[in-house]
Amino acid sequence: MRTLLITGPGGSGRTTLAAATALAAAREGTRTLLLSADRTDTPGAALGTPTGPAPTRVTDTLTAWRPDPTAGFRDDLTGFQDRAATVLDLLGASRLDPEEVTPLPGAEELTLLRALRDAALAETHDLLVVDLPPAPQALALLALPEELRRYLRRLLPPERQAARALRPVLGRLAGVPMPADWLYDTAARWDTELAAVEAVLADRHTAVRLVAEPGPAGADALRTAALGLALRALPVESVVANRVLPEDAGTWLAGPLAQQRKALQEWHAGPAGPVHEVAHLGRDPRGTDDLTALAAPGVNPAPAPVEWTLTDRIAEDGVLVWHLPLPGAIRDELDLVRRGDELVVTAGPFRRIVALPSALRRCTVEGAALRDGELRVRCAPDPALWPRER
């Protein structure tokens, strides 16, 4: 199944373009699911069919789904209270009734990730079009599975579960209570769910489509989003320049037209991906006829995966070179920190902690350079850890 993640700056029309993309694919006979994180029913307004927490059949080959974060959060909290009933009773805690539960910050993101996982695992569609939140929130959302799994592994290492039989003894020796089984079970369940989402994002059939209006603000947002996606090794399938004004719009639009031309030239020459121009309809699209008139681009073949490759230059320079593609990165906004077997990479407003390849764990970082949109990290073998030649 193909998964197309669509995002862009707020107000760029990404939800409408996601609906138009899904509709165009469905009309070609592709079984398509449109999954949206929009709080209001913008997808339904665009499609002319209300959407909600239950999957809605729009046409024979198109289904739209806007999951409800309140219901998902309520179910999770109820399940947690059931599993932790003994502890809550010992603490004298008063349990919450489902009717009084309201979602906390982050519930919407977790609900969308779970829906993404469920839709991918169901395999009832050929194409999954995901209307993500605006780019800054979308980038944080796409980083969430990897970051949460990392936190869980640090706080509750899976290997400690092997010592379950010894925990009562260790608790008496240490004089402190040891984590209960339900806590490890919950962590294991969360790790499994997050791993399933990670697998969808890392799949070679998953890509991102960026939607922006051609202009100064849209150009800045596009560069930032492309950098954040590159740091997460997520390929960009295409860029959609939305609401493009006609060249004969009139002299009173000469300023916006000049800015539009400049932005489009930069985008067509840039590394983000193929650029498709979608004309301004002169009105907010409403209904399937307007979505068809938008002429949203079809779903392109999946681009090549973003790979962080390792080059062996020990014979020539005595180093291994790790290549990290970071198009749009600025030298002064890059930072690297080695922490044990991990590398903390900061690029502009984004940061990612990645595990070093096994070969680099036996090396020391000698330096790094940014060339042609690629960060090259030079690592020299540590004589104390690197096997000696005989």
Amino acid found at 358: S
Structure confidence at residue 176 (pLDDT): 46
Q: How far apart are CA 374 and CA 354, in angstroms?
A: 17
Query: Both tokens of residue 183?
Result: 């806590």
Task: Answer yes or no: are the C-beta atoms of 144 and 352 closer than 8 Å.
Answer: no
Element (H, E) at 230: helix 216-231
d(CA 206, CA 110): 19
Q: Predicted confidence band at 249 (pLDDT cuts at 50, 70, 90)?
A: confident
Q: Which residue did the predictor score with more confidence, 157 or 61? A: 61
Q: What is the pLDDT of residue 179?
A: 52
CB neighbours of 357 closer than 8 A, spacing ≥ 6?
310, 322
CB atoms within 10 A of CB 143: 17
Which of 106, 153, 139 is CA-nearest to residue 351? 139
Indicate the pLDDT class of residue 61, thresholds 50, 70 and 90: very high
Nearest to 139 by CA among 201, 46, 57: 201
The whole-angstrom separation of Cα 377 and Cα 126 is 39
Instruction: Report helix, strand or coil for 327.
Output: coil
Task: Round to whole Å and give the CA distance between 194 and 67.
Answer: 18
Provide the pLDDT confidence category of residue 70 given band limits of 50, 70 and 90: low
Which residue, chain included where needed, has tokens 């806007």? Answer: 66
This prediction's pTM: 0.85
pLDDT of residue 240: 94
From residue 115, give the alpha-carbon distance in Å to each of 29, 128, 138, 288. Answer: 23, 11, 15, 25
Q: So what's the pLDDT on residue 21?
A: 95
What is the spatial distance between Cα 68 and Cα 49, in angstroms, rounded to a whole number? 17
6 φ/ψ angles, rounded to the nearest 5 degrees: -115, 125
Q: Return the sign of the alpha-carbon dihedral for residues 211, 214, 219, 223.
A: positive
Domains annotated for the chain, with CATH where assigned, are: 2-68+104-293 (3.40.50.300), 309-381 (2.60.40.790)
Mean pLDDT of 183-199: 83
